Amino acid sequence: MERTLKKNISLYLKACFFLLFINTVTSEEGGDKNFGIVIHGGAGSYENLSAEKEKAYKDGVNEALIKGYEILKSGGSSLDAVTEAVSILEDFPLFNAGRGSVYTSKETQEMDASIMDGLNGMAGAVASVSTIKNPIRLARAVMEKSSHVLLVGEGAEDFAKQNKIKTVDPSYFHSEKNLQRVRKLKKDKKLGTVGAIALDKQGNLAAATSTGGRSNKRPGRVGDSPILGAGTWAENGFCAVSGTGHGEYFMRQLTAAEVCNKMKYLQMSLEDAANAVVERLSKTGGAGGIIAIDSTGKMSAPFNTAGMVRGMYSKEEGKTIKIYKED
Ligand code: ASP
């Protein structure tokens, strides 16, 4: 009797260890669940882009894509993946976000950023900040450590200090090239707003966008990037979206949220919904593009400009990085 009991206990323990082992293996490999990340580095004309500059854009996107993908692959959250991917791009002087932000007409720099968690609809955003090294990290702190959604200017910067978000002297963002651009050309628009969207192994979607805004903008102007629904949106079960382009159009048309709404209420596919919002931008004269991912990992990146720096990396479809339509 005692021997049978011992045997049963030992069999039970062996079964438990086996199940634990199987579970660890499948969760490390993510089972057969798809996951992925899409990144943009700005939409625009990209005229006369030298081979060297083209490579620099692609290298930046590649670095951010790999970082985000590795986070997702090891079971990390889509929220972490988009935060880290956007932070990497904010550190590159080439993109118009963080370090490489453009100048306003008064030769100041004012940055905007937002982040959204598709799991619970929580979101955080900052606008018109000038001393935050990585505005996307501050947007995330607003989401996680305040009861607000959007903080602007000095109030946002005080909140950064209280929450140990890295601040820098405004000279960190200085770029002679960007300054000359706003001084003499006024109409030479630097491109390079950045955004990332991701689906993790748990099926959660997240989106993040960061920008220096439009070159030569009026001080105090806020674009679509920190406005939830306009430049950024994430909603589990439907999609995550980040936009780039002429922000005033995205704000008036709630472009990012509209993709999810078309999927939700009109049962459109991700691709059809994404194409439809970009078509509407075109019809109304708004230049730009979006990146979008759905809860199965399907990805789409339509734009109506000559180019949009972009990269996609999913478990099922692998990695691609492109600038122009025909790439
Ligand atoms: N959408 C950004 C803004 O209007 C700029 C851009 O994406 O190029 O601030």
Q: pTM here? A: 0.90
Say yes or no: 90 and 2 in one domain: no
Q: Which of 193, 209, 244, 255 is catalytic?
A: 193
Question: β-strands 150-152, 123-129: how paired?
Answer: parallel
How many domains are there within the chain?
2
193 is an active site residue:
yes
Ligand 1 atom showing the smallest separation from residue 192 Cα:
8
pLDDT(22) > 50: no
Mean pLDDT for the stretch of residues 282-291: 98
Query: Is residue 278 pLDDT above 60, yes or no?
Result: yes
**Residue 267: band (very low, low, confident or very high) from pLDDT cuts 50, 70, 90:** very high
Region of poorest pLDDT, from 23-32, 62-71, 124-133, 171-180: 23-32
CA of 51 to the centre of ligand 1 (A): 24
Compute the distance between CA of residue 163 and CA of residue 186 in angstroms, rounded to an integer: 37
Residue 40 sits in the same domain as residue 18 = no
Residue 19 pLDDT greater than 90, yes or no: no
**Distance from residue 32's CA to the centre of ligand 1 (Å):** 37
C-alpha distances in angstroms, 33 versus 26, 122, 201?
A: 10, 24, 6
Distance 327 CA to ligand 1 centre (A): 23
Report the CATH number that the domain containing residue 205 is assigned in CATH: 3.60.20.30
**Domain check: are 21 and 57 in the same one?**
no
For residue 247, the ligand 1 atom closest to its alpha carbon is 4
Instruction: Determine which residue's CA is closest to atom 8 belonging to ligand 1.
Output: 245
Cα diameter, the chain = 94
184 and 259 housed in the same domain: yes
What mean pLDDT is reported for the chain?
A: 92
From 94, 211, 227, mutation site for ligand 1 pocket: most ligand atoms within 8 A of C-beta: 211
* pLDDT over threshold 80, residue 138: yes
Residue-number span of the structural domain to which 3 is assigned: 1-32
pLDDT at 6 over 80: no
Q: How confident is the model at residue 191 (pLDDT cuts 50, 70, 90)?
A: confident
Could you tell me if 63 and 120 lie in one domain?
A: yes
Using a 6 Å CB cutoff, which residues line ligand 1? 42, 191, 193, 211, 213-214, 223-225, 231, 244-245, 247
Q: What is the mean pLDDT of residues 129-146?
A: 98
Same domain for 27 and 59: no
CA–centroid distance, 120 to ligand 1, in Å, is 26
Indicate if 125 and 140 belong to the same structural domain.
yes
Distance (Å) of CA 320 to CA 92, 311, 327: 20, 6, 10
* Whether residues 216 and 74 fall in one domain: yes
Nearest atom (ligand 1) to Cα of 217: 9
Do 15 and 119 have their domain in common? no
User: How much distance in Å is there from the Cα of 315 to the middle of ligand 1?
Assistant: 30
Check whether 23 has a pLDDT greater than 50.
Answer: no
Q: How far is the CA of 28 from the centre of ligand 1 (A)?
A: 38
Residues 92 and 11 placed together within one structural domain of the fold? no
Two structure tokens written together for 248: 């005033």
Strands 194-199 and 205-211: antiparallel
Got the DSSP string for 304-321? SSSEEEEEEEETTTEEEE
What's residue 5's pLDDT? 60
Residue closest via CA to ligand 1's atom 9 equals 213
Query: Ligand 1: which residue has its CA nearest to atom 7?
Result: 244
The pick from 104, 109, 225, 228 for probing ligand 1's pocket by mutation, whose C-beta has the most ligand atoms within 8 angstroms, reads 225
Same domain, 26 and 63: no
CA distance 31 to 74: 12
Report the DSSP pairing between strands 123-129 and 307-314.
Answer: unpaired
Please report which confidence band the pLDDT of residue 24 belongs to, taking 50, 70 and 90 as the band edges: very low
Q: What is the pLDDT of residues 31-85, one digit of tens each?
A: 789 999 999 999 998 888 899 999 999 999 999 999 999 999 999 999 999 999 9
Residues 12 and 151 in one domain: no
- The ligand 1 atom nearest the CA atom of 44: 8
